[in-house]
Amino acid sequence: MNDLFWLDAGTGSPVVLLHGGFVDHGMWEAQIPEFAARYRVIAPDSRGHGRSANAVEPYRLTDDLAALLRSLGTGPAVLVGVSMGASVAVETALEHPDLVGAVVITGAGTGEPYFTDPWTVQRMTIWHSAMTAGDLEASVEGFMAFVAGPHRTLDDCDPGVVRRLRQMATKTMSKHAAGEPNLLVPVRDTWDRVAGIDVPVLAVNGALDSPDHIGMAERVASAVANGRATSIDGAAHYPNMERPDAYNKILADFLRTL
């Protein structure tokens, strides 16, 4: 695991914080100290993100996480993920169920996303084009559109949150070059299998996120035997950053039920 970076703070039952795509563990700045006072908080940077090395061979994010948790000897952990991190949490519950005690997801379902909302489709197309062209500035700004969501502009958002997300996205995107091979191996048939997850699942979405992102998380929560969904007003794709007090209370209340 020498090529991956993670924070490991606190003691007690393990809570793993999984960041979104193109950012890093820094997005959990308002959660790490809060929950490390009562739990063992593990916050990794996924391969190719933040302080973790880029991939040099095919890999799956769920297998990276499983290898990390086994190396740390955590036992079943609560996996808490936003966006890409949410899909990693769900896929780990499918692929490595012995490592998962509960799942909390925001703004995503599995690593097989689907987009039908016109705003989301348009923004994803613009972002993908910029990424393919290797235009760093346009790629970062394409990413930032999801920070605001379909109902606001970035001017409506907390400037500190905007600044931090832009810095993290720029750092991670700068690690990659146009045309480099995509070595990420997808987990298949996830939506067909998601109902088999037998641990509690909580979906916590920003109410201002796109319908597709909200819908995928809620679909997971409604498919499992023990799932529920809630939302946080005044936030889009990153409610843990935009409304940390509200997010932390929801998460703390959920953890106390386990």
Cα–Cα distance for residue pair 247/242, rounded to 1 Å: 9
Same domain, yes or no, for 133 and 57? no
Q: What are the tens digits of pLDDT across the range 35-79?
A: 999 999 999 999 999 999 999 999 999 999 999 999 999 989 999
Same domain, 74 and 128: no
Determine the pLDDT at residue 75: 81
Q: Is the pLDDT reported for residue 92 higher than 90?
A: yes
The model's confidence at residue 2, banded by pLDDT at 50, 70 and 90, is confident
**Ordered DSSP codes for 79-142:** EEEETHHHHHHHHHHHH-GGGEEEEEEES--SSS----SHHHHHHHHHHHHHHHHT-HHHHHHH
How are beta strands 40-45 and 100-106 bridged, if at all? unpaired
Report field, pTM of the whole predicted structure over 0.95:
yes
User: 4-13, 114-123, 127-136, 182-191: which range is least confident on average?
Assistant: 127-136
| CB-CB contact of 86 with 184 (8 Å) | no
pLDDT (0 to 100) of residue 179: 83
| 148-195 tens-digit pLDDT | 999 999 999 999 999 999 999 999 999 998 888 999 999 999 999 999
Question: Locate tokens 């799932």: which residue?
Answer: 227
- Same domain for 102 and 193, yes or no, is yes
Structurally, the chain folds into a number of domains equal to 2
Give the per-residue pLDDT at 215: 98
- Note down the domain range covering 165: 118-173
Mark whether 58 and 91 lie in a shared domain: yes
Tokens of 13: 């039952």
CA gap 247, 258 in Å, rounded: 17
Mean pLDDT, residues 106-123 = 96
Going by C-alpha positions, the residue among 44, 4, 48 that lies closest to residue 184 is 48
